Amino acid sequence: MAEFFNAADVTAAAIRIEQRGQDVYNQAVAMATKPEVKALFQHLADEEARHEATFRAMADRVGPVELPAWSIAAEYVEYLHALLDSHALFTQAGTLTALKGAADDHAAALRMAIQFEKDTLLFFTEMRELVPAREKAAVDACIAEERAHLRALTAMLAQVNA
């Protein structure tokens, strides 16, 4: 029989990711000197704010969720915690101090942002498995946008390195 737990923890984590991402991107906007890099970071900060609103609305609607049938509750919760604990936004490498250290190096700041987006994609992909069917479309939309962020950051990195 499948296990259940409260999805509020998962949506709260998604909200934290989006808030932290918005903070980091706003700092990156303030530090970037190239107009095209500054514009991309501003766009990403705006997107993170929109995603936060999506997950806040979702938090009000979700309740107990079923864990994937293959999982053991304690192990799956540990896995989700490990995803958060290792997320670039919550590690030393993802701190605003580290970003400030990369202020003069647009490529380094873009690489940090790429890692943020990859970690967020992984978390949201797992989150999708936990939300009720009626909420999957909202998570899918955020996943698609995070993929677009990753593509935009990668393209900007190639441009900066050219």
pLDDT band at 99 (very low <50, low <70, confident <90, very high): low
The pLDDT of residue 1? 27
Residues 6+ apart with CB under 8 A from 84: 13, 16, 17, 90, 123
Is CATH 3.30.160.270 the right assignment for the domain spanning 4-161? no
**Residue ranges covered by each domain of the chain:** 4-161
Q: Cα–chain-centroid distance for residue 39? A: 19
Do β-strands 4-6 and 64-66 pair in parallel, antiparallel, or remain unpaired?
antiparallel
Instruction: Dump pLDDT digits (tens) for 59-89.
Output: 777 765 566 666 666 676 777 777 777 777 7
Asked if 1 and 66 count as a contact pair (C-beta separation under 8 A), the reply is no
Is 90 exceeded by the pLDDT of residue 148?
A: yes
CA-nearest of 76, 147, 149 to 110 is 149
Position 67, amino acid:
L
> How far apart are the C-alpha atoms of 147 and 30, rounded to whole Å?
24
pLDDT band at 3 (very low <50, low <70, confident <90, very high): very low
The pTM of the full predicted model, rounded to 2 decimals, is 0.77
